[in-house]
Structure formats: C-alpha cells, structure tokens
C-alpha cells in the first residue's frame, strides 16, 4: 500500500497522520514549508527572558468535546489557564466579554442580573428586523453606545472594512452576560500546554509510521510518489489561484522586552479608532505558574494579506464566497487529493474544531485507502460554501 503525503504540520496534518498511523497502520510523510511544526500555534522560549512565547499570537485551547480533550491530553499536560481579556477605551478599562460588571461600570449603575438584562433590551434598535450585516446585528441587540465603544472600531481595524460590509453571522450570538463571569470561553475545558503547542504537535508526530520533513515546500510533482495527498494549505494556492485569490486578513507585531509587569494581564484589546493597534499581548501572563523578572510584550496590528504574508482570518465577503464555490467544485473532481483544515476549506476554525474535524475525517479516509473505495475530498461538514 502506498504512502500518504500530508502537506502541513499544523494540527490538521498532525492529528490526521497520527490517527492514520494508530488506527489504520498507514504510513504518512508530513511536510511543512516552515522550520517548525504547529503552524500558527507555534510556541518557543524567548532566549533573553525564558518566557514561553505565542509566536504568532495567543492561542488558548478550549473545548466541550470530551474526545477532543482526551485526545490532546494524551500527549501533554495542560495548565488550567482561563482567558480574561480587557478592553482599554477612553472611558476606562473594562472586562470582556461584556458582562454584568462591564455594564455596571460603563453606565455607572448597580444593576442586578435581571435589571441589567431589561436595561440592555431597551438599548437595542427595535427598527431592525432581520439583521443584514454585522453592524445591524450588534445594534439590534446592544444599541449604539456599547457597539461604538467595544465593537465598531475594533472590528474595522481587525477586518479592514466597515462592519456593515461583514455578514451578521460573524456576531453569532448576543455578546453579553448578565452575571460577573468574565471567562472568555463557555467551554468545559480550557488551558494551555505546559510545554507549549509545538511540543504537543511534536509528540503527535512521534510515531514510527510518520516521517516529518520541515523546510519543505509543496510541489505538485510530489504527488507522483504517494497514493494520496492531504492538503491543509490555502485551497486557492493549491490551484495556482486559477479562480482568483481568496481574501484574508493577517496580523503582525511590534515586540519588546520590558522590566517587571507591563499591563497585568495576558490580553488587552484597544477598540478605539485612535489606537492603530488592535491589542497588546503580555506573554508571561499565559503561564502564571511561572516567575519571570522581565516581560515580553507584543503589540498587534491587522492588515490585508499580501502574496508573501501568512493568512490568518478568511474575510468571506460575497466575492470571496463566489470564488470559493469555484474552488470547491474543482476540488470535488479530485480522486487522489483531500482538503482538510481552515485554510484548505476557507473557514475560521478554533483549534478544538480543527482537531475534532481531523479525528472525524481519519476513519472515512483510512477505510477508503485500505479498501480501495472512493476517497473523501472534504470533511462531511463541507456540503456547499462552508
């Protein structure tokens, strides 16, 4: 039986390779154009301070899916870190997500949960029926003041366009809690690998049936040497952008080492338009169990993704979805290639979703490769434009 080539050593590629090895006894070669595994989740110790850095931005693992949690904790121990970001605006520093403390502090009130819920209901724009975009979604449920303070400027900077140009689905649920819970996530499990994400992925790939080749760029001629290819990079790049380029936002950082404690928290957002940056990250606060005299601070900015930039967030505007549909149609004609992960399917996905989808994708692919049946091109969740 031929080998499988997996393009990309992020979570999609690593989990799939391990599942094919453990459960289907299939040999995989995993390649990545970077010199490390883990993709944008890459972590490394800063040589000057010893602090574990989230090199490409903060990543906090969270999931309510028991099998996903059991899976990642097979390979490493996790801290019990809870993300509690803040927002710094001209009016002060407030807790996120918007909760009872935020509401009382922002409006100078002492509301009970029921009183706060009733009050926020009066703020919403009742003239909006079915929200047609992000801005209408926010105004319908939050009203002008909260939207202007916490969402409009941040969203404009993050996405590089006015919020009214973005789909309402980005703001999927009412971003308000009427209690004092400031845990950013609602999931059952949350934490950060004690040794970092790169060490976690290295453990996943540590198997006799998995060969790893870093600093190796995908070339279509490689497919000749393998029975099947699983591609986890940008789908438009795979096809040489023949149907056009899909739009992404990317991020970059200004980083410095300072003495002591810079901001007292891991993440502080800066929603106000007068601040060019979107947030400030202080890495040592992701590991409060460690002690460091100095601190590494990263100021984050957002911009359009150029040809040489790392893509982060799919914009998924109307034009993008039309381009994506053409790529999906082309991909479905493939007999020896599968597409897996956020870049290959042009969706925003958290780590736990990426891992869960790779776990779910392994059985149908493994069965197809061992029985000679038709191989799945996409995960089951991809039915039309995802």
Residues designated catalytic: 173, 177, 249, 279, 300, 348, 350
Spell out a b/e string for 170-199, using b for 16 or more CB atoms within 10 Å of the CB, else e. ebeebbbbbeeebebbebebbbbbbbbbbb
CA–CA dist 185, 358 (Å, integer): 22
The angle, 0 to 180 degrees and rounded to 10, between the axes of the packed helices 11-24 and 197-204 is 30
Backbone angles phi, psi at 267, to 5 degrees: -135, 125
- Supply the Cα-derived Rg of the chain in whole angstroms: 22
CA–CA dist 244, 202 (Å, integer): 35
Q: Identify the DSSP state of 126.
A: T
DSSP string, 345-384: HT----HHHHHHHHHHHHHHHHHHHHHT-PPPSS-TT-SS
Asked whether 151 and 117 are in contact (CB, 8 A), the reply is no
DSSP string, 250-295: EEEEEEEEEES-SSSSSEEE--STT-SSSEEEEGGGG-TTS--SEE
- Determine the 3-state secondary structure of 306 from DSSP: coil
Asked whether 199 and 193 are in contact (CB, 8 A), the reply is yes
Backbone angles phi, psi at 287, to 5 degrees: -130, 70
CA–CA dist 337, 312 (Å, integer): 23
CA–CA dist 279, 276 (Å, integer): 9
Nearest to 80 by CA among 188, 168, 160, 165: 188
């Amino acid at each position: 039986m031929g080998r499988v080539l997996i393009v990309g050593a992020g979570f999609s590629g690593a989990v799939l390779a391990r599942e094919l090895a453990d459960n289907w006894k299939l040999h995989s070669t995993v390649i990545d154009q970077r010199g490390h595994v883990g993709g944008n989740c890459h972590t490394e110790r800063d040589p000057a301070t010893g602090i574990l850095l989230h090199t490409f931005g903060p990543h906090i693992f969270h999931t309510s899916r028991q099998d996903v949690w059991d899976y990642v904790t097979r390979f490493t121990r996790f801290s019990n870190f809870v993300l509690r970001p803040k927002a710094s605006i001209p009016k002060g520093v407030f807790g996120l997500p918007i909760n009872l403390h935020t509401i009382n502090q922002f409006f100078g009130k002492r509301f009970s949960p029921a009183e706060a819920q009733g009050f926020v209901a009066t703020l919403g724009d009742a003239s909006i029926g079915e929200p047609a975009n992000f801005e209408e979604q926010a105004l319908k449920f939050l009203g002008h003041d909260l939207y202007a303070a916490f969402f409009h400027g941040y969203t404009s900077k993050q996405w590089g366009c006015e919020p009214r140009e973005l789909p309402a689905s980005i703001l999927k649920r009412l971003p308000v809690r009427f209690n004092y819970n400031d845990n950013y996530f609602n999931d059952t499990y949350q934490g950060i690998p004690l040794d970092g994400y790169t060490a976690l992925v290295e453990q996943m790939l540590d198997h006799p049936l998995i060969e790893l080749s870093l600093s190796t760029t995908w070339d279509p001629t490689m497919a000749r040497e393998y029975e099947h290819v699983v591609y986890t990079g940008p789908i438009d790049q795979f096809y040489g952008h023949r149907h056009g380029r899909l739009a992404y936002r990317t991020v970059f950082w200004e980083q410095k080492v300072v003495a002591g404690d810079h901001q007292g928290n891991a993440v502080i957002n800066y929603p106000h338009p007068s601040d060019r940056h979107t947030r400030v990250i202080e890495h040592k606060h992701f590991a409060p169990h460690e002690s460091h005299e100095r601190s590494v601070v990263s100021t984050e900015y957002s911009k359009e993704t150029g040809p040489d930039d790392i893509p982060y967030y799919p914009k998924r505007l109307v034009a993008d979805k039309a381009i994506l549909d053409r790529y999906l149609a082309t991909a479905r004609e493939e007999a020896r290639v599968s597409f897996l992960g956020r870049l290959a399917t042009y969706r925003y996905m958290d780590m736990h979703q990426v891992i869960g989808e790779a776990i779910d994708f392994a059985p149908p692919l493994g069965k197809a490769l061992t029985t000679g049946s038709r191989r799945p091109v996409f995960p089951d969740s991809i039915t039309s434009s995802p």
